Chains A and B, each alone.
Chain A
Amino acid sequence: MKFLFLCLLFLLSSCIDSDAVLSENESEKIKVNAFIFNDNASNLKDTTIALKDTVFLIGNILPERGTHIQKYFWKDPNNNIFKEFQIKFKPTKPGNFVYHFTIVDFHGDSLSDSVQINVSTPPVLDSIHWLPENNSSRLSPDSVFFSWNASDKDNDNLFYIFEIFENNKKIIDTLLSTTCIKPDLKFKELETYEWKVTVFDSEGIQGNTIHSEFATGHSKGLARLSGKINIFPDSLLKKVKLYLVQNDSSKELTLNDSLFDTGFINSGAYTLRANVMTFSDYQSHEQTYHLKPGDLKDNINFLLEDNKAPSFPTLKSDTLPYVSQLIFPIENHGIQLDSQNISLTLDNEPLQFSLSNDTLSIELPKYNLPICRFLSLTVKDINNNSISQTFYLCKESAWATPLYDTTLNQQDTLNISFYETNPYHLELKDIIWSSKENPAWTFTQTKSDSSITIYASLFSVGKYTIEALSRYENGLELQNQFILEVKE
């Protein structure tokens, strides 16, 4: 019985450890803090330092008095134990490290706090290879630039303090994020310059510094023009010819895609001239440059544009005969027109058309009323240059003899004549007569033949559509047609 009670007491005491200093309730009162003490006397939980910087870690307990602590220690990431409240050390390798500060009471319960130290590797400047090479001499003052290499194991963004000295006097002191610079500075001829670069990472950790010097020679007087040709669409670049002209001599420059470069040339006056072959709506562009020694113009932008609107055939009157088909050429010397950029209406109603090689083919619906109709046409080219015009289509014939549907006996003839000066002031070039049903009957009537005789005997008995395609000097073509019925 006694034994059982002892067992019970033992078990209860194991489950409820009421004397532990850091028991649940006690630990709410006791606080343990770990922090990094830095030069600014501020306490940090984490910090970034350079390799071999001194680190000072402090652990403390609150309240400071009356706490029954058996042991306290710092533990480093390698599980080394330091039985101190404060430890001081210099990290020997880069990386992120967590240090724990722990206190333990007489019952083995513990509280702990930690700090993190990020040890950054200083960035490194390549201390051998840079430009201008150390002790370079006779450099042309016009073309001096500075370039160096840097690396950082932590892959931080790097910054550079770049300085130039002339006779020990600092003439440039600037912060850079790039590894090269061409200072906005006119270097003197026959002068020695010192320059140095110091690298820092984004945490402000300083790397090494490179020192170098160079001497200028006489200005070589070299200059250079380079830039880009801008043309829309890009496919026209192969049609662009670019010339570098000086006095009477001209040299064609090769385009690399859209870029051009004269290479190094002597100072003087030069003209760059760009033409677009075949497409005369694209105006040629030229620009003259007066190049002084050392002028490096590398951002030239030439814009070549189609800035000429398309045009319609020249007409002495804005009235045209109402025919079955109107072939309407549009004058355009840029990129071929797109039917989506053409708007055509007949009495304000959209009218179908087809487009081929900048020529509109317009089928006009059958119409017998003697009232003129309005044909409105708007054309835009690829650069949005546009032209609009309204034409009046009137039923009045261009022919002295109107072309009506006709019935002939096989022995009959039909004589058709046209106006030498027609009511629309159109200058006739020729007329092509044809019949789809009788392809053998096709011939061209010249301007000197003022009339045509159709012999019904040339046709078998039946119905024929006779087409007369009148072609005019301004490129316009009008097609009339009528039905010829031949009887026995």
Chain B
Amino acid sequence: MISLCTLSSFILFLLLACTYTPENIEKEIYLDKAEIGIISQKGDTSYALEIPNNENFKLFIKTSPREFKDSLEYSWFKKDSLLSNKSVFSYTHKKSLIPDSVTLNDKFGNALGLSFKIILNSPPKITKILSPAEGDTLIGDQNTPFLFSWNAFDADGDTLQFFIEKDSILFPVGMWDYAHLTHFSEGSHKFRIIANDLYNSADTSLWIHFYVKEQ
């Protein structure tokens, strides 16, 4: 014969066993992602590690989850030389050293290394509009292909992509520094050139005004 007390205790045990939910188990959280970002002199943030040459910039690490950000130790390196232990690396262009890797250490001694390359990009420069010159009069009609040509260079040697804006219409020119355009009505017109480098740094020439006169 089971006593009422023993049976009640057994039922209580079963109830507890079926309804128990574990509490206070520390969740293991891992650093999912760490990404190098760049803050330009103007304060713009980008994750494309390209910055205009001769400008100051700052490097930072975006961590996911975000809560890791303040609990990590940072070591910025150039090859094997330690440059800084700050979470944000500041570069002033008078100093020649730019880090190429960063190591993140947590309080348990785990380390994550990230290698990267900062590209100091010189923007392209349109140096001269060869033809037509400002104020030129071009003789022809709607079917006459007029030659537009210019000089440009890029200090980094990037292949440049050009656009020519004829009045308010933008035409792609590709890598050539000249183009023949047609369909000009008699009267005043203007054009300008836009040069883009591989990193979308651009230079835009001034508008050149010219006049088309029919024969």
- Which residues of A come within 8 Å of B, CB atoms? 1, 4, 7-8, 11-12, 14-15, 126, 129-133, 136-140, 143, 145-149, 178-182, 217, 256-257, 259, 261, 263-264
Contact = CB atoms under 8 A, between A and B. Distances in A.
Contacts of B169: 129
Contacts of A148: 172
B11 A133 contact: no
A145 B128 CA distance: 22
Contacts of A256: 127-128, 151, 153
A11 B19 CA distance: 11
Contacts of A132: 145, 180, 182
B179 interface: yes
Interface string B6-40: 01101100110110000000000000000000000
A421 B8 CA distance: 136
A41 B179 CA distance: 50
A7 B11 contact: yes
Contacts of A139: 145, 180
A139 B130 CA distance: 19
A8 B14 contact: yes
20 contacts: A4-B8, A129-B170, A129-B171, A130-B172, A131-B180, A136-B183, A137-B145, A137-B182, A140-B145, A143-B178, A145-B176, A147-B173, A147-B174, A178-B174, A180-B172, A180-B173, A180-B175, A217-B145, A256-B153, A259-B153
Contact of A140 (B11, B176, B180): B180
A145 B131 CA distance: 18
Contacts of B127: 256
A138 B149 contact: no
Contacts of B97: none
Given A12-B14, A131-B171, A263-B149, 11 more contacts: A11-B14, A14-B18, A129-B169, A137-B143, A138-B145, A140-B180, A143-B180, A182-B176, A257-B155, A263-B130, A263-B131
Contact of A15 (B18, B128, B130, B176): B18
Q: Which of B7, B153, B173, B174 is the most central at the interface, judged by chain A CB atoms within 10 Å of its CB?
A: B174
A139 B143 CA distance: 9
Contacts of B208: none
Contact of A147 (B143, B155, B172): B172
Contact of A129 (B14, B130, B172): B172
B147 interface: yes
Contacts of B170: 129
Tell me which of A4, A146, A148 has the highest count of chain B C-beta atoms within 10 A of its own C-beta.
A4
A149 B172 contact: yes
A131 B11 contact: no
Contacts of B145: 132, 136-140, 217
Nearest to B179: A131
Contacts, number: 94
B63 to A, nearest CB: 24
A182 B174 CA distance: 10
B95 to A, nearest CB: 23
B200 interface: no
A14 B169 CA distance: 75
Interface in B128-149: 128, 130-131, 143-145, 147, 149
Contacts of A8: 10-11, 14
Nearest to B8: A4
Contacts of B181: 131, 133
A133 B174 contact: no
B149 A130 contact: no
Contact of B149 (A11, A131, A137, A264): A264
B132 to A, nearest CB: 12
A131 B172 contact: yes
B15 A11 contact: yes
A472 to B, nearest CB: 47
Interface string B148-189: 010101010000000000000111111111111111000000
A112 B162 CA distance: 53
Instruction: State the 3 A-B residue pairs at the shortest beta-carbon distance, nearest first.
Output: A180-B174, A147-B174, A147-B172
Given A11-B15, A256-B128, A133 B182 contact: yes
Nearest to A14: B18
Nearest to B162: A147
Contacts of B180: 131-132, 136, 139-140, 143
Nearest to A7: B11
Contacts of B131: 263-264
Given A138-B144, A139-B145, A11 B171 contact: no
A103 B154 CA distance: 62
Given A129-B171, A130-B172, A147-B174, A4 B11 contact: yes
A60 B149 CA distance: 65
A227 to B, nearest CB: 12
Contacts of A11: 11, 14-15, 18
